[in-house]
Amino acid sequence: MTENMWTEEELDRAIADQPAGPVFTAEARERALARMVAAGEAPRPVKRWLVAAAAVTLVAGALVAVPALWSDDSGPAASATETLRRAAAATTGQTRPSAGQYQYVVTHSWDLGSATTGAGNPISALFHSVREQWIPADRSAEWLERRATLDRRWLVGSDEQAKTEGDGGLLQEDTSTKERRGPCGDYPDVNEELGGDPDWGKPCAERVGNWGNLNPRFLSSLPTSPQALYDRLWSDSMGHAETALSNAAGVLASPEASPELRSALYQALQNLPDFQVTEATANLNGQVGTALGVHGDVNRYDIIIDPETGRYIGTRWVLLKPGTDMWEGLPAGTVVSFSAVDFAVVDRAGDEPPTK
């Protein structure tokens, strides 16, 4: 049994109706996306993919299935240039926390978990996850993270089918809120070997950072000349457009990136090969922006920005071909890895900003 997929409007409304609660940060998400794209491999099928998993595992199955949100007739490439120029001109800085305050970062995402029933039939459900993080003005002080999976909606299959045929482990997700604390973002259960980060174990002030693990020192090392920034981005991404865009998205998703760097990055992306406007689309909580993306062999990777304010809204992956393996039953045009990020400054760890 396959249920109807959500329309774009239904998905936006469903996400907007969810309360802000515990998430997976944009930095971690973009870091994992960059690793996956750099590896040059499509995600491999496993039984389930949830935000609570490690970063690489998450993004390997971070799928959000909805109808097509884009058109092949995306218009001339110049439309991307004009959109990026407007965003660069409009970009302003994020409010930064003062001593004793915290940077609040919240990311909502819809992620697909897939499995095979005992009868050999594919099933998949859409899981809504949210992650909150409180980063102190003094990064060496204690950070707080909360995350949880909130709800699900069937895309292929149903509760009845899963009960009758077995869910293949798909519905064993833990919906409880997880909380972690640690200085400099070093949470006690983080696997230090994951990704081989050279900064692990170093004092907070001595960490160099990188595209996959952004910090103020790394961000300040990036040039603000658009051409020099593009050359650095392209070189570090080994000439892969999807990796370059993913790395750029990580910077745009960081509240610690300066307005000068954000503006330069939008200008730098004008040089990205085959970078096109794919659609003006609603993302999370009514945030409307323009989607710009690059095509891979199987998926298209988009960033979504508001060109009128220069604000980064989120990312999405779009399936370009009918799905197989973990995407079985999903048509071309299905959105994969749909997420949105927001920032605020709060006085105490655990505080949430007023609802906008």
pLDDT of residue 34: 43
Q: Specify if 352 maps to a domain.
A: no
State the total domains in the chain.
Answer: 1
pLDDT of residue 190: 61
Q: Specify if 305 maps to a domain.
A: yes
Q: Is 164 left (phi over 0), alpha (psi -120 to 50) or beta?
A: alpha
Q: Specify if 234 maps to a domain.
A: yes
Query: Which residues does the chain have with pLDDT short of 70?
Result: 1-78, 173, 189-197, 281-285, 356
CA separation, residue 90 to residues 149, 207, 267, 308 (Å) = 35, 32, 12, 6
Q: Specify if 158 maps to a domain.
A: yes
Q: Which residues of 209-218 are buried (b: 16+ CB within 10 A; e: fewer)?
A: bbbbbbbeeb
pLDDT of residue 355: 77
Q: Specify if 354 maps to a domain.
A: no
pLDDT of residue 196: 55
Q: Specify if 319 maps to a domain.
A: yes
Which helix (H) or strand (E) covers residue 59, if one does?
Answer: helix 55-60
Query: Positive or negative CA dihedral for 156, 160, 161, 167?
Result: positive
Q: Specify if 3 maps to a domain.
A: no
* Half-sphere exposure (Cβ direction) of 248: Cα atoms closer than 13 Å: 37
- DSSP designation for 346: E
pLDDT of residue 336: 73
Domain enclosing residue 333, as ranges: 8-346
Q: Specify if 224 maps to a domain.
A: yes
pLDDT of residue 149: 87
